[in-house]
Structure 1
């Protein structure tokens, strides 16, 4: 039995599916959730729910939800704690309860479909392919194998997700992504794809990127910066995507204060640096961090910082020193950067 057939068999034995997106879901996660919901519908499941935690703040993510009319609901722990018999819990584009989601740790999970590096994944059905560039690639394979009706909205969602997660096939794309995109292209809506690809940018995002540019410090081929406090969480990956293009920079890391946590985003086309491992090693004891060798993210609760410092300026100074010191140590950098100390 193929994995797609195995999945459909499990779905046919169930009456409800709760698909949980990771915190602040991106197009890959959202499109994968849509596709899994569509597959569940063809298997006879009428009760289908897509949940998320955090915020949908990135302009592309907001456009995705609005233009495709994605029915999302804020996640509540009661959704997984009080599930009736026959109800399934599914993760797409992430895999571990409590990591990049607000599902309580040790919660039993039924379905995991993911492509991010992870260990100790525990679920009844697992399709975990780190070698692929997008979770949407896996869901496209299922849709095709199971002959699910592929309307233009779903095709466009999956195609945009693959393009987005691979930076238009420049990052982590495999022949499987190209094959999936070729299949989806014939069913997609070019005008909708154009709208998804070029949404307007908020002033808060521009301000955060500008702050990151002003605060940048380089040490050899490594750039570290911060956006200060921002309500635009997704300005961090946008800032780091911009700064890693700076001449001479091979690794860029940007952090910032978002609500009650420190968010971190990292990029590194340098094959000698695995930024997922860098963030995990540097901050795994105080928060979470990880990802691919070239793309990674992390989150640290403010905790004691917020308890003892109420002024944002002082708080940011302390956080900048602590974050930078850990990164300098993990990356084996010297203490000097463009004439200014990083530590």
Structure 2
């Protein structure tokens, strides 16, 4: 029995399903949650909810939720801790309680479907495939094998998620992504796909990207920069995507201060570098970081700098120095930048 049928039979014995998205969910997570909800409905589960924490701040993610009318609810600890018998808890696009989610560590999880690198995954049903390019690819396989009704909304969501997660099939895409896209293609709304691909950008995001461009330094083929303090978390991702296309740059790392934490986003096309491992080694002792060979991120609490200063300008200077030094050491870079524009 394959994983799709195993999952379906597991769901058919339950009465309720709570799907938890990771913090600040992206299209891959959201589309996967939507698909799992549809499979649960087909298996006879009427009581279903999708929870998220953090923000849906990236304009593309907001457009995804709004245009596809995806029903989401803010994370509620009681929904995952006070469950009745027959109530299942599922993770999609993440795997471990307390890691990139607000679920308390040690909480029993029933279903995990994910493609990110990870260890210590514990659930009654686990489909963890690091080799594929998107979690939505796995869910598309389930929808296809189980003959779940593939309406325009579901097909568009899954196809866009696969395209976005693989940067248009240029990052981490496998034959499975192409097979999934071929299946979804005729059912998707192409006008809606175009709308999702080109959402409007806020002025604050443009300002943050401009700051990242101004502050960039380059050592060999590695670009390191920061956006200062910002409320636009996803501006870091967009800045990293954009700066990774700069001529001569194989790896781009962008960080910034958001609320009470330092957020880090990285992109790499250098075959010699596993950027997820590099970030993990650089920041695991002071925060959390990791990801794929080509795409990674991290978070470091600002509290570790609390004894230095309460002045934001001075704090930024210290953060810049410390974070950059850790990146330079972790990537074995030269001390002095080859180019500095600020």
Q: TM-score under structure 1 normalisation?
A: 0.97
Residue in structure 1 matched with residue 252 of structure 2 by the alignment: 252
Task: State the shift of 1:308 in Å.
Answer: 4.7
Residue in structure 2 matched with residue 315 of structure 1 by the alignment: 315
Residue 307 and residue 87 in structure 1: after superposition, are their counterparts in 2 closer, same or farther (change >3 A)? farther
2: CA distance, partners of 1:57 / 1:220: 33
Q: How does 1:283-322 map to 2 (within 5 A)?
A: 283-306=283-306, 308-322=308-322
| Structural RMSD (CA) | 1.4
What SS does structure 1 have at the residue aligned with 2:329?
helix
Number of aligned residue pairs: 342
Q: How does 1:61-140 map to 2 (within 5 A)?
A: 61-140=61-140
Deviations 1:189-229 (A, max 9, x none): 11111111111000111000000000000111111000111
2:201 corresponds to 1:191? no
What SS does structure 1 have at the residue aligned with 2:136?
helix
After superposing on structure 2, the runs of 4+ consecutive aligned residues of structure 1 that deviate more than 6 Å are none
Residue in structure 2 matched with residue 39 of structure 1 by the alignment: 39
2: CA distance, partners of 1:295 / 1:126: 23
What SS does structure 2 have at the residue aligned with 1:303?
helix
2: CA distance, partners of 1:275 / 1:339: 21
What SS does structure 2 have at the residue aligned with 1:337?
coil
1: CA distance, partners of 2:36 / 2:338: 49
1: CA distance, partners of 2:251 / 2:197: 26
Q: How does 1:156-175 map to 2 (within 5 A)?
A: 156-175=156-175
2: CA distance, partners of 1:337 / 1:265: 20
Residue in structure 2 matched with residue 11 of structure 1 by the alignment: 11
Structure 1 window deviating more from structure 2 (233-242 vs 297-306): it is 297-306
2:142 corresponds to 1:145? no
Task: State the shift of 1:339 in Å.
Answer: 6.1
Unaligned runs of 5+ in 2: none
What SS does structure 2 have at the residue aligned with 1:41?
helix
Residue in structure 1 matched with residue 266 of structure 2 by the alignment: 266
What SS does structure 2 have at the residue aligned with 1:234?
helix
Task: State the shift of 1:159 in Å.
Answer: 0.3
Task: State the shift of 1:307 in Å.
Answer: 5.7
Residue in structure 1 matched with residue 327 of structure 2 by the alignment: 327
Residue in structure 2 matched with residue 24 of structure 1 by the alignment: 24
What SS does structure 1 have at the residue aligned with 2:84?
coil
Give the conservation status (yes or no) of the 8 Å contact 2:217–2:339: no
2: CA distance, partners of 1:287 / 1:107: 21
Residue in structure 1 matched with residue 59 of structure 2 by the alignment: 59
Q: TM-score under structure 2 normalisation?
A: 0.98
What SS does structure 1 have at the residue aligned with 2:233?
coil
Task: State the shift of 1:310 in Å.
Answer: 2.0
Deviations 1:70-112 (A, max 9, x none): 1111112222111111111111011111111111111111100
2: CA distance, partners of 1:81 / 1:307: 36
2: CA distance, partners of 1:306 / 1:73: 34
Residue in structure 1 matched with residue 203 of structure 2 by the alignment: 203
